[in-house]
Amino acid sequence: MNHNLLANIKIVLVEPAGALNLGSIARIMKNMGLTRLVLVNPRCDPSSEDARIMAVHAVDILENAQIVDSLPAALTGCQRAIATTVRSRSVPIKLEPPSVALPWLMSPHIQSALLFGAEDRGLSNDELKYAQRFVCIQSSPIYPSLNLAQAIAICSYELYQTWLKLSNSPQATPRSQSEQVTGELASTNVPIDVLEGYYQHLEAVLLEIGYLYPHTAAVKMEKFRRLYNKANLQPEEVAMLRGILRQVRWATQNKSKSLDN
């Protein structure tokens, strides 16, 4: 049985504010076989009495939660990330139901993350940019807003159902099992922090050569992120792209020196 597929998934909460919610989330995670909770700048104490009371027998999830000061730090080592959102952005994104998108997180030997925003605001545009896919939980337009713990319960249930499907195929290899459920090759993606390094490098070079302007850079970089997310880049491809950027920078700098002389 593929216990490691659930163990490879981080539940990342950005600035959670409610201790009661945190306790409920810990309990939900343990119910569904998830163990890795990461808190980005929490606005409440995960070790508080309120959190521990709500967690019941999942206090260990709270005790072992990783606390970090930024979303990139939370995603260290991850190769895939899905963000939950209901917001429309300046750049259109494809919103998928949990049952469609979440199985993508469960591939052998791949670390992944499921991102949730703060209770009062969700994920900002800047935070959403770290994800490659986006989940929207459909609910009644009369009252569409879900409590954070409720949203995590729905997504955790879908992940556990995927794990059950994989576990009930004992004759298949972990790779082929994942392909059956996700409908795609379980190829190894580039770590998110490596991609972020490339995006920062790309933006700097494009600003230098005048393709980007500071006041429109963010919107255009969103489009580049979407393009590269579709490409499912491999590490050697990112290395090649960064090599091109280094050569562009060298060429422009040397051309400037030649003109000065």
Q: Which CATH class is domain 192-260?
A: mainly alpha
Q: Say whether pLDDT at 176 is over 60.
A: no
The CATH homologous superfamily for domain 3-182 is: SPOUT methyltransferase, trefoil knot domain (3.40.1280.10)
Encoded tokens for 241: 């792209």
Instruction: Examine domains 3-182 and 192-260 and report if their fold is the same.
Output: no
DSSP per-residue letters across 197-249: HHHHHHHHHHHHTTSS-TTTHHHHHHHHHHHHHHHT--HHHHHHHHHHHHHHH
The model carries a pTM of 0.83
Above 70 in pLDDT, residue 236? Answer: yes
Domain range annotation of the chain = 3-182, 192-260
Segment 97-155, tens digit of pLDDT: 999 999 999 988 889 999 999 998 899 988 999 999 999 998 888 888 889 999 999 99
CB count, 10 Å around CB of 174? 17
Q: CA–CA separation, 127 vs 113, rounded Å?
A: 13
8-state DSSP, 118: B
Q: Which of 226, 223, 235 is nearest to 195 (CA)?
A: 235
| Choice between 27 and 146, residue whose per-residue pLDDT is larger | 27
Residue 188 is predicted with a pLDDT of: 52
